[in-house]
Structure 1
Amino acid sequence: MESPQHFAHIGVTGRPMVETGHVTVIRQMTYQPVGRGAAAVETLTFHRLRELNDGGTQRADFHVLAVVDAGHGTVTVDFLPYGLGARSAVWIAPGAVHRWDDIAEVAGHVVLFVPTAPVTRATRELVADPDRVAQWSVPDADWPFVDAARSHLLLEASAPPVGASTELPEILLSALIARLRPPHSAARPVNPTFRRFRSSVETHFREHHDAGYYARALGYAPRTLSRAVQQATGRTAKAYIVDRLVLEAKRLLAHDRLTAAGCAGTLGFPDASNFSVFFRTATGMRPGAWQSMTAVK
């Protein structure tokens, strides 16, 4: 995606990559507020997104929330394809590697916002939830409310930032998120112990790979923590940590084009060999093979 020139707050940086005779630019998109009254929310249509999109892989430090009115298409988020259809929504969290594969026939809007933009406790918890699904269909009964919330947000986001109006898009973004009600990917109930564990893993997974560390840090017996994680996810605490490390490793290999040594340093492994063994055990592939498979040509 090229830099949205009329959205002054979105900056895009590119890193050239030379590979098998092809030169590709992998883009890192950053949210860059301009001035003290800069908005924390930006909006654009899918028509404008098509003008900006070059079909490349992107990784943003802000949230991307799309609401589809009509048409069909696809988007890839963290290496998984998702369909775009009428009355569906897509939520791409900061750090996720994504690519708009096919949006030629899609109509709707995209909302870009920083993690701190929502103003209510419930919507901030949704924004911080790493297990929120990436794509879902909006129930017919909910659609009129979603449409109304979006329309009000679009109207306020287009207004000049005068006085308190700079806060209104954030308030209306919260209303839209609340009306969209993004589902949680875990079928089991999320308990407070797991919430604390999940938050701690998200903060420390690069330095600490041992489930025992999180049990000690959170003040739980290892068995208590393991039971809570199993109840919430169906996985052991160790498997949850491994899955988070693998996801970040895939992002670093595919988007940042890091070597095994670079991934080892970033993710807290002693050396490239140790990381390579970990990655191959978890995925069945060598890091270099994964990187080649996901290369943008």
Structure 2
Amino acid sequence: MLVNKSIDIPYQQLPFKGQFNVAPLGTFRNELTDQPHRHDHFQIIWITRGKGRHMVDFVWYEVEDNMIFLLRPGQVHQLDCEREGHFLYFTEQFYFTNKHDKETLYDFTNLFDNWHGYAPITISDHTSTSLHGLISLMAQEKTTAPHCSQGIVKHYLNAFLLLIEREKKRNAAETMMPFTHDARVVQLRRLLEQHYRTEHQVGFYANAFALTPKRLNEITKETAGRTVTELLHDRIVLESKRNLAFSHKSVKEICYELGFEDPAYFSRFFKNNTGISPQDFRDMMFK
């Protein structure tokens, strides 16, 4: 059970100004901190010492020392653990201020993708030392306001993200999970995020790349291990679960919001993908 009553999933507002910040874990707590909530920015939670569990989009993960959780805007999470460490948040607008940034800075959006399934990243002791140094540099630069240089902070953050990506690849190699990158799949994720409520046909997404549906499916199957339809259905099911678990919306309302015209068909779709009906899923969450 996640919470004891159905609520609209809140966006937690942090008491910091600007589009970037770094602070120790535990700096800020309110009534939402230990309840399911989400943020409208990218967030990195680095637990240097911890014990307990952390839920991300309905899956609980056991917390270990030197573990990093990467959260995209809108992902629902809930901390249920003792923890020490750091958190960073930033917006895409902060990181990519202009076209020049797009050409010179690392495209972190792929790092936050979870095509192969979400998983926290275990950090090696060697990398941990480097990350601690970058945290200190970013925090120190922030204290120089109003003379803080956004460019300097972005380059520290750039190095921080690159080190995390290397650790993610190391984790994948140790678990025999492939770690591949295709810019078209990154763009497809963005398209799915924008249109999954209204566009349910593969042809719409294939046309955006001037590809046939068959070819786009081959690309996503090779890179993500899933077809476009499977990726689309995964996203629809996730949003369905979020609404069923954390809102007062009826199944019919959720159905229409996600682009389905027939509530009965939506219920069959949900059951085919989860093994349980929408109402049974909602009831199960609050037993």
Q: TM-score, normalised by structure 2?
A: 0.81
Please name the residue that 1:287 is paired with.
Answer: 278
Contact 1:75 1:83 in 2 (8 A): yes
- Does residue 272 of structure 1 match 2:256? no
Q: 1:141 aligns with which of 99, 105, 126?
A: 126
Q: Residues 224-261 of structure 1: CA distance to partner in whole angstroms, max 9, x if unpaired?
A: 11111111122222112111111111112222343212
CA contact (8 A) 1:206 1:268 kept: yes
Native 8 Å contact 1:26 1:56 kept in 2? no
Within 5 Å, give how 1:124-203 maps onto structure 2.
Answer: 124-126=108-110, 129-131=113-115, 133-157=118-142, 159=143, 161-165=145-149, 168-181=152-165, 183=168, 187=178, 189-203=180-194
| Counterpart for residue 57 of structure 1 | 36
SS at match of 1:96: coil
- C-alpha displacement at 1:270, in angstroms? 0.7
Paired residues of 1:196 and 1:218 also in contact (CA < 8 A): no
Match of 1:111 in 2: 88
Q: Matches of residues 7-86 of structure 1 in structure 2 within 5 Å?
A: 28-29=10-11, 38-49=17-28, 55-86=34-65
Structure 1 contact 229–235 (Cα < 8 Å) conserved: yes
Deviations 1:191-233 (A, max 9, x none): 3443333332222111111112222232111221111111112
- Structure 2 residue aligned with 1:99: 78
Runs of 4 or more, structure 1, over 6 Å off, are: none
- The answer to whether the 8 Å contact 1:46/1:109 transfers is yes
Q: Show CA shifts across 1:159-213 (max 9, x none).
A: 1521344554444333322222263787252334433333322221111111122
> Structure 1 residue 87 and structure 2 residue 66: aligned?
yes
What root-mean-square deviation, in Å, do the aligned CA atoms of Structure 1 and Structure 2 show?
A: 2.9
Change over 3 Å in CA distance of 1:27–1:250 after alignment to 2: closer
**Distance 1:253-1:160 versus aligned 2 partners, 3 A rule:** farther
Structure with greater helix percent: 2
Q: Which runs of 5+ in 1 are unaligned?
A: 1-18
Whether 1:261 aligns to 2:252 is yes
* Contact 2:141 2:148 (C-alpha < 8 Å) held by counterparts: no
Shift in CA distance, 154/98, structure 1 to aligned 2, threshold 3 Å: same
C-alpha distance after superposition, 1:101-134 (max 9, x if no partner): 12x2x21112222232335531443466354844
Stretch of structure 1 that moved more, 247-256 or 50-59? 50-59
Q: Is the 8 A contact 1:40 1:170 kept in 2?
A: no
User: Which structure exhibits the higher relative contact order, with contacts defined as CA atoms closer than 8 Å and separated by 6 or more residues?
Assistant: 2
Q: TM-score, normalised to structure 1's length?
A: 0.78
Paired position in structure 2 for 1:13: none
Higher mean alpha-carbon deviation, 49-58 vs 223-232, is at 49-58
**CA shift in 2, pair 1:197/1:252, >3 Å:** same
Local SS of the residue matching 1:270:
coil
Gaps of 5+ in 2: none
For 1:112, what is the secondary structure of its paired residue? strand
Q: CA deviation at 1:54?
A: 5.2
User: CA 1:51–1:193 in structure 2 vs 1: closer, same or farther (change >3 Å)?
Assistant: closer
* CA shift for structure 1 position 76: 0.2
Structure (1 or 2) with the greater strand fraction? 1
Supply the AA of the counterpart residue of 2:58.
Answer: F
2:203 to 204, 212, 219: 212
How many residue pairs get aligned? The number is: 270
Q: 1:180 to 1:192 in 2, by over 3 A?
A: closer
Rounded Cα–Cα distance in structure 2 between residues aligned with 1:177 and 1:293: 38
